Amino acid sequence: MKDLKKIHVPPLTTPQAAEYLNLMPSTLEIWRVTGRGPIFCRLGSRAIRYRQDDLDEFIDAGRRDSTSTRGDDTMEPVDGDGKK
pLDDT over 70 at 8, yes or no: yes
Measured CA angle at 21 (ends 65, 77), to 5 deg: 45
Instruction: Give the integer Cα–Cα distance in Å for 24 and 19.
Output: 7
The pLDDT assigned to 64 comes to: 84
pLDDT in tens, 53-76: 999 999 999 888 888 877 655 434
pLDDT of residue 7: 78
Between the CA of residue 5 and those of 11, 35, 51, 61, 67, what are the distances in Å? Answer: 17, 33, 17, 27, 40
What's the average model confidence in pLDDT over 19-40?
A: 96
pTM: 0.71
